[in-house]
A = this chain, B = another copy of it.
Amino acid sequence: MNVRRSRMKVEKPVRRSAKRGLAPGSMVHIGARRTAEAGISLIEYSADELRETRFASIESSRTHESRLPLRWLNVHGVHDTGVLAEIGQRFHLHPLMLEDIANTEQRPKVESYGEQVFAVARMLTLSADGLTLSSEQFSLVLGHDFLLSFQERPSGCFEPVRERLRKAHGTLRGCGIDHLAYSLVDTVVDNYFDVIERIGERLDVLEEELFERPGSAQMASLHQARRDTLTLRRALWPLREVIGSLQRGDFPQIHAETRVYLRDVQDHLTFLIESVDTMREVLSGLLDVYLSALSQRVNQEVRVLTVITMLFMPAALIAGIFGMNFKSMPWLASPDGFTLALVLMGGVAAVLGAVFWRRHWLD
């Protein structure tokens, strides 16, 4: 119960249809609002220097002046279309791009808008109890000297990248802004490993249970796991295409050195996709295990019923026969009659029991 309920709260498609009739390029936030306030943080850096700024609001950022060559602006909370609009204006973003950033029900994709590359990916989070898989949108705009990243809510996910940036002589600072974009995507993909490993463990537990004490509760878990693999597939498959396109060199903004690293990310995604496909096969196998266990149990119960009927019915018939009211019946007057009747009952039962035992019905 809990399983399904939690899923429905999260995955329920939020009214994309609210946009019907609007002009294309109209910026409307689609999806759940996952954080109270939008937050904006800026990291400017060169090989030698780094400056971090966290803005209280979009207004406060207007006066900020950039002096370092490379800028990474991270925004969380894309429901605030005012913020998006202002950023869009400042960085000359195409209206369709802004529309896609605000609509958090996007499929992963990469698109070229003149000098800018726009990419969308999905971040997956498994709740602490491992039962609820949620999927958020993560968008990137890569320009010549800046990188914009948009998340639905603040996640600590990029903290390690920031740490690596802060190190004065790390490789990250020395490479171009495209390498920073790669690092973010790599971090997102690394997170998938955790999600998939934990779902895999859930499956192992489920398998163990199904073989030991199959029950209807496991059917709900199976169904839930199946839905989770669908969510995973929808996040992973198109992302692999995205990375493949970046890695093949369709976009001049990505330098050759970075492409070697993207090939690595693509390998990871292929590995993950195969893992998910394996999971799906295992799930389908577990369903068969469950259904055959159900069938097996009906088997056993009918057998028990048959055995009981077989053992008691003849005895009951014998008792019924000696309960008839005929004037002249054998054994009735004999002092051993009662004992003989009981022995007869027991004898029939013993013979039938032996037959069943020989046929392995009493296992």
Contacts and interface: CB of A to CB of B under 8 A. Distances in A.
Contact of A216 (B4, B13, B296): B296
Nearest to A171: B23
B190 A263 contact: no
Contact of A285 (B223, B281, B304): B223
Interface in A327-357: 327-335, 337-338, 341-342, 345
Copies in the complex: 5
Contacts of A332: 325-327
A115 interface: no
A160 B327 contact: no
Contacts of A342: 321
Interface stretch (A53-61, A145-153, A307-315): A307-315
A128 interface: no
A317 B312 CA distance: 7
Contacts of A290: 292
Given A204-B12, A230-B282, A332-B325, A96 B261 contact: yes
Q: On chain A, which size bracket covers the interface?
A: 35 or more
Given A211-B220, A330-B338, A8 B204 contact: yes
A359 to B, nearest CB: 10
A107 B324 contact: no
Given A263-B111, A289-B223, A304-B306, A211 B1 contact: yes
A86 interface: no
28 contacts: A16-B193, A21-B160, A21-B187, A23-B164, A96-B261, A99-B264, A105-B271, A106-B267, A107-B271, A107-B274, A109-B267, A216-B296, A219-B293, A227-B285, A230-B278, A230-B281, A288-B291, A294-B296, A302-B302, A309-B309, A309-B313, A319-B321, A319-B324, A322-B325, A323-B323, A325-B329, A326-B332, A329-B338
Given A16-B193, A294-B296, A295-B295, 6 more contacts: A17-B194, A111-B263, A219-B292, A297-B299, A309-B309, A316-B320
